[in-house]
Amino acid sequence: MPEGTPGARSGHALSLRNLSKYYGATAAVDGVDLDVPRGSFLTLLGPSGSGKTTILMAIAGFVEPSGGSILLDDKDITRLPPDKRNFGMVFQGYALFPHMTVADNIWFPLKVRGVSKADASTKIKNALELVQMGHLAERFPSQLSGGQQQRVALARAIVFEPDLLLLDEPLSALDKKLRADLQWELKSLHQRLGTTFIYVTHDQEEALSMSDNIVILRDGQIEQEGVPGDLYEKPATKFVADFLGKSNFLQGKLATKQADTFAYVCGGQTLVQKGAPDHAKVTGDILIALRPEKITLTPQRPSTTNAVAGRITAFNYYGSAYHFQVGTEAMGELIATAPAWTCAVEPSIGNEIWLGWEPDASVVVRDR
Ligand code: ADP
């Protein structure tokens, strides 16, 4: 990377140890232990009120923890004031200085560190190039679109080579298409900089598409963490299966068990499941999560191990896919999706169809 490129050094590692924050009797953050690997893109994902922003603000130094500690490269920074932490921040609102040009906005964090504009000019230029805003350096924020303003805010947050970049829902004020474009750009920016990114969102697609690691929060605690593919394919709980993507939930009773497969009865029908997180402990009542895209829809009974008859009760067309609601006698209403260009069933309400899936298409989840 050329000299003067923001964040050219390798990233830093952050750890939270038993971090808590209480507001009166409310635990906004409740005993969180977390390791953010050096140079990684970690996303805190969860519904509103799950503690995401409080954790980010504690890392930034704006919220004082009630307990626990924050370590940067194993150094305790829990009591370090925010201005001594050298972290970049980007928020949903762009928070640019309206009376300053783009270049001066980006100079600002260097100026407060005592760097003259002349000395900062290479860094300002490089930061602007990184966010593709080099041609708009002399404009004022009011002359920029929302997406451009957020690019400037990003450049301002990386120009002083921060140890960490903290991003709190930075794309949520933008429209859908622009948000998708900036997701690509943020990911590529992260790869080029090598800076550790900690990203807060409640948008599961954003989390899945950009992150190296996702931490799912619920009521101030970590519900599950992992790489996006593992979290999506192997949710441990009903909450995760429901929050990250969509799922059908089948309530069953164990019938027979073999090496790594078991049969269970759901709505009077016997179905087969392969594997469970703790197979040996599967007894009695079980809960199965089945993703809608893992169900095959056919006009006739399919040859899959599991097959359930149903009737289309509603459907939506999304261009690339159909989303179906299918009423079944055995297990009530199920949701299923099919690529529109290969959809084997006629999308019409009342159409009698079959839903099929293999034993390894679904997962056993804890009911919480
Ligand atoms: P999220 O970012 O996931 O939406 P927050 O971290 O903002 O969640 O909030 C977590 C919980 O802490 C919520 O119940 C919220 O109401 C509470 N909370 C956050 N900040 C304060 C505050 N300054 N005073 C009182 N309660 C707060």
pLDDT digits (tens, 9 = 90+) for 181-223: 899 999 999 999 999 999 999 999 999 999 999 999 999 999 9
Cα 59 to Cα 53: distance, rounded to the nearest angstrom:
10
Angle at 187 between CA 184 and CA 193, to 5 degrees: 135
**Mean pLDDT (whole number) for 139-150:** 94
Distances (CA, A) of 134 to 99, 106, 131, 143, 280: 19, 12, 8, 15, 60
Q: Is the predicted pLDDT of residue 133 greater than 50, yes or no?
A: yes
Q: Which atom of ligand 1 is nearest to the CA of 24?
A: 25
Nearest alpha carbon, ligand 1 atom 17? 28
What is the tens place of the pLDDT at every residue in 214-248?
Answer: 999 999 999 999 999 999 999 999 999 999 999 99
Above pLDDT 90, what percent of the chain? 86
Paired with 263 in beta bridges are: 256, 272
Q: Is pLDDT of 10 > 90? A: no
Residue 9 is predicted with a pLDDT of: 46
Residue 97 makes CB contacts below 8 A (sequence gap 6+) with: 104, 105, 108, 141
Q: How many CB atoms lie within 10 A of CB 98?
A: 8
CB of 62 shorter than 6 A to ligand 1:
no
Q: Residue 279: is its pLDDT beyond 80?
A: no
| 103: phi then psi, degrees, rounded to nearest 5 | -60, -40
Residue 280 has pLDDT above 80, yes or no: no
Distance between CA atoms of 34 and 32, rounded to whole angstroms?
Answer: 6
Ligand 1 atom with minimal separation from the 57 CA:
6
| Ligand 1 centroid, distance to 66 Cα (angstroms) | 14
Asked whether residue 2 carries a pLDDT value surpassing 50, the answer given is: no
CB atoms within 10 A of CB 84: 9
Ligand 1, atom 6, lies closest to the CA of: 51
Q: Return the CA Rg of the chain.
A: 25
* 55 phi and psi angles, rounded to 5 deg: -65, -45
Mean pLDDT over all residues of the chain?
A: 93
Q: For ligand 1, what atom is nearest to the CA of residue 202?
A: 3
pLDDT above 50 (res 45): yes
CA gap 107, 134 in Å, rounded? 14
Q: Kindly give the number of the ligand 1 atom that is closest to the alpha carbon of 29.
A: 10
CB of 28 closer than 6 A to ligand 1? yes
Is 341 buried (19+), middle (13-18) or exposed (0-12) by CB count in 10 A? Answer: exposed
The rounded Å distance from CA 259 to ligand 1 centre is 46
Evaluate if residue 5 carries a pLDDT over 70. Answer: no
Of the CA atoms within 13 Å of residue 122, those in its CB half-sphere come to 6
Please indicate whether residue 48, judged by its CB atom, sits closer than 6 Å to ligand 1.
Answer: yes
Separation of 48 CA from ligand 1 center, angstroms? 9
26 ligand 1 Cβ < 6 A:
yes
Dist. CA 55 → ligand 1 center (Å): 10
Site of tokens 């709980």:
237
Mean pLDDT of 114-130: 93
| 3-state DSSP assignment of residue 19 | strand
Say if ligand 1 is within 6 A of residue 221 CB: no
**From atom 14 of ligand 1, which residue's Cα is the shortest distance away?**
49
State if residue 362 touches ligand 1 by the CB under 6 angstroms criterion: no
Residue 224 in contact with ligand 1 by CB distance below 6 A: no
